[in-house]
Amino acid sequence: MQRVLVVGGAGALGSAVARRFASAGNWEVASLDRIASKVDVKVDLGAKSAMQTASWEERLRSAHDEIDQWAGGDGLQAVVHVAGGFAMGGFEDGVGPVESMWEMNVQSAFTAAALAATHLGSPGLLVLTGAQAARKAGGTGFAVGYGMSKAATHQLATDFANEYCAMSQRSCKCILPGTIDTPANREAMPDADHATWTSPDVIADRIFGWAQPSSFDASKPQDIQHDLFVEV
């Protein structure tokens, strides 16, 4: 039995990822989120009431302990980070949007990477969630905190890939979504062309494919320069 940890497993994309892995029948799924998963997962980390007021360090330490109890020496075969959020806010809108984006996007991404560094086996996959907007020339002046947080996530993916994937059967992917077709996005942008948005199930299918043993080639380490960032 293989094991995947979904960081942000209670959200729309996280639920799609958890369902995709669980439906395969040969994966045990754990969700790490502040609320309980909507999917019938094997382990639900972080949702218990004691963790709601814990510090980031305490939550991370607790996650390490719970993964040890669940996976033991076998470790994890995939860690998928799909937590995060979006907030508008420019340079004149104070630090609130920046602080919230840093907590939601960067802290969750680092948590996933830190857990992968300790528990990810070889072969093994780490997926982090970046953003197309943060890599485009036009910038994100309308949402500075969001752009900063996603740029930091892109750097985190690069650092993890260089440290853990260049000479091993581990792989790191940083997905770059456009707009994901979620209920929250539809409510926020009711007049947008939803037909151009990406279904969470489509993204979940791609992530599941990357996690399959056939995706890893022991004789060919990951080409970090060309296949780290993937638009979805």
Sorting pLDDT into bands at 50, 70 and 90, what band is 117?
A: very high
- pTM score: 0.93
Q: Which of 21, 27, 86, 146 is catalytic?
A: 146
Question: Which three-class secondary structure state does DSSP give residue 116?
Answer: helix
The per-residue pLDDT for range 133-176, each reduced to its tens digit, is 898 878 888 899 999 999 999 999 999 999 998 777 899 999 99
Average pLDDT over residues 173-202: 90
In which band, very low, low, confident or very high, does the pLDDT at 50 lie, cut at 50, 70 and 90?
Answer: low
Helix (H) or strand (E) holding 153: helix 144-160
Phi/psi of residue 169, nearest 5 degrees: -90, 20
Provide the percentage of residues in the chain whose pLDDT is more than 90.
Answer: 66
Q: What is the pLDDT of residue 173?
A: 96
Mean pLDDT of 55-66: 94
Q: Which H or E run contains 230? A: strand 229-231
The residue written with tokens 């029948």 in the block is 25
Concerning whether 164 is annotated as a catalytic residue, the answer is no
In CATH, 2-231 is 3.40.50.720: yes
> With 0-12 CB in 10 A as exposed, 13-18 as middle and 19+ as buried, what is 211?
buried
User: Domain segments of the chain: what residues?
Assistant: 2-231
119/73 Cα distance (integer angstroms)? 9
Q: In which element (H, E) is residue 154 found? A: helix 144-160
Q: Which residue shows structure tokens 């750097």?
A: 155
